[in-house]
A and B are shown apart, each in its own frame.
Chain A
Amino acid sequence: MKPVLAVEDLTVTIDTRRGPARAVAGVDWAVRPGETLALVGESGSGKSMSVLAATGLAPRTARVSGRIHLLDTELTGLPEQRRRRLRGRHVGFVFQDPMTSLNPVLTVGRQVVEAAQEHLGLTRRAARSRAVELLDLVGIPSAGQRVDAYPHQFSGGMRQRVVIAMALACEPDLLIADEPTTALDVTTQAQIVELVADLQRRLGTAVVWITHDLGVVAGIADTVAVMYAGRILEQGPVDAVFGAPSHPYTRALLAARPDPAAGDADLVTIAGAPPSPLDLPPGCAFWPRCPVRGDARCEHEMPPLVPVSAGHQVRTFYPQATDRRD
């Protein structure tokens, strides 16, 4: 099946006062209808930026290159007006913090159907009933009354439901969920994950789920791309990547998951910090923190992305190596 959204060699450079920062450096990924692609990585790994750049929402100071296909259209080089229409009509967004991603002075109903009014030309009356329908769809009780309420009258979890309803207003082909559960408490997180998974099953929407919660990835994703310092270090079907993690970084991430059974045992961490995007090393960006540390080649040469099994690729010179424990 043709992908809904695919990027090839996507690079994003942000001009800062201290020089150009390469936030995303030659990334390829694709998401097919009905599938969920999870982008995982630490803060600043470029996972959000790659998606924002692909959909034309990167900050103005960002320079984007590479090829971006949305459905049948090549987005790079397209005038902003056309990109804007395609984005609003075919892509829905759910952002991280529902406390700040809704406009405080407009009613939720108005915000929910705004995109549909813009792109599908709904009349005022149709818009209102559509708003109620959408709020109902995401499980907001007595949607008929709540449609005229303002965001501050909702709890965090309910607001995130509103944001999801908003994202689905035009029945998009793709839903982008940018850490949609990070700002919520644990029980609400589970409800939101379940809601999105359920809506995806019913509507057949493709989902790009940006997260650093590997538990969520294991539960809902079909494919996963692990990002570090603007590059993909490992990607493939979620079972393959999680079942046989081939990059030392992926293994470290999986090992760093808190284990409820371990009780009060110390959390496992990855020593060190990611490199600054202003000053990336010539070789593997993970090399300084890497538990394998093959040889000088790792320090000076960027390893290519190589296949290890069907659809499973990894960016390392030593896919079969075992981690040193020292």
Chain B
Amino acid sequence: MARFVIRRLLQSAVVLLGVTLVVFLLLQLVPGDPVRVALGTRFDPQTYEALRARAGLDQPLVVQYFDYLRRALTGDLGVSFRSGRPVTAIVLERLPATLSLAVTAVLFAVVIAFPLGIVSAIRSGSLVDHAARVFSQFGVSVPDFWMGIMAILLFSGVLGWLPPSGYVALTEDPGRWASHVALPAATVGLVTASILTRFVRSSMLEVLSEDYVRTAEAKGLRTRVVVLRHVLRNALIPVVTVVAVQLASLLGGVIVIEVLFAWPGIGRLTYDAVAARDYPVLQGAVLLVAALFLLVNLVVDILYARLDPRITVK
């Protein structure tokens, strides 16, 4: 197990190296001069050249890249063109907000999708099943920003139960954190829940038709035992991947929702960095997202081996 994790971490490092290279090269293709944008109306040739030199932009590309890589290895991802603050700090301070939103949204989705998908599969063709399918169709087709606006209008406008936007750190005030995270997480979670409900339902249906489920029924086990012990455990295996992919993509930031709810997450940071051509910040954000993605994948692989004895991690 330990060897598996180490090997996977080394592989992840190689992937991250590739990510830095791709992002670095892509940024060279983007039109617009970051230093010029950063200076704005204060532009004069001397300051411009000085800034370019300070950022190392006057060096050849290869030198720029290896310079970046060398410093990245020590945790220094450069300095924001815009604010002059270290990128590592900027990116990391966005992490709690993004984690809050992504994890809460996925929990919300799981809590809704699992029971709904399970009941929907066991009672396939019933009223519950039809309702679940309408729900998931609705969740998948209605745009999340519209759902977000409606949620704000209803829960903070009309009912006044929850704040319409903003973020409070969990460590600062758990109660206020919860009230702030509720609306954006529910909005994002609803979409995820819709997708997940379908996967849980179809995975359950597939397992329900397996021979070993009939074997379990032949033993005269209670329906609850058959479903939880024999069906669910097997049905979960493919669903875990879907949950992980959803979580990973939410960790990458939900830009529209973060902008709508004034949520200071990675998504907003990326959006602002693109608008301001703040390359170091953009690079840092992409690198962090890639690292989170790889981490989630590693966890999924370990989870897989736990759930399915046919898979061994070596």
Contact = CB atoms under 8 A, between A and B. Distances in A.
A287 interface: no
A122 interface: no
Interface residues of B, number: 22
Given A104-B309, A105-B307, A105-B308, A95 B220 contact: no
Interface stretch (B34-42, B147-155, B229-237, B252-260): B229-237
Contact of B215 (A89, A103, A118, A152): A103
Contacts of B220: 84-89, 115, 118-119
B212 interface: yes
Interface string A111-140: 100110011000000000000000000000
A95 B219 contact: no
Which one of B212, B215, B233 has the highest number of Cβ atoms from chain A below 10 Å of its Cβ? B215
B221 A97 contact: no
Contacts of B310: 104, 150, 152
B308 A104 contact: yes
A185 to B, nearest CB: 19
Task: Please provide the 5 A-B residue pairs with the shortest distance between their CB atoms, ordered closest to farther.
Answer: A88-B220, A115-B219, A100-B211, A93-B218, A103-B212
A105 B308 CA distance: 6
B218 A87 contact: yes
Interface of A: 55, 57, 84-89, 91, 93, 95, 97, 100-106, 111, 114-115, 118-119, 150, 152, 163, 166, 169
Contacts of A85: 220
Interface string B198-212: 000000000000111
Contacts of A169: 219
A174 B283 CA distance: 70
Contact of A100 (B212, B219, B225, B230): B212
A104 B234 contact: yes
A88 B230 contact: no
Query: Which of B210, B220, B237: most chain A Cβ within 10 A?
Result: B220
Contacts of B234: 103-105
B221 A101 contact: no
Nearest to A83: B220
Interface of B: 210-212, 214-222, 225, 229-230, 233-234, 237, 307-310
A102 B233 contact: no
Given A100-B211, A101-B211, A105-B233, A152 B309 contact: yes
Nearest to B217: A57
Contact of A118 (B214, B225, B230, B233): B225
Nearest to A98: B211
A245 B38 CA distance: 98
A88 B233 contact: no
Contacts of B229: 106
B222 A84 contact: yes
B235 to A, nearest CB: 10
Contacts of B218: 55, 57, 87-88, 91, 93, 95
Contact of B211 (A88, A91, A95, A111): A95
A51 B229 CA distance: 26
A51 to B, nearest CB: 11
Contacts of B216: 103, 114
A86 B215 CA distance: 15
A93 B215 contact: yes
A86 B219 CA distance: 10
A95 B210 CA distance: 12
Contacts of A86: 220
Given A104-B309, A105-B234, A105-B309, A114 B219 contact: yes
B309 A102 contact: no
A100 B234 CA distance: 13
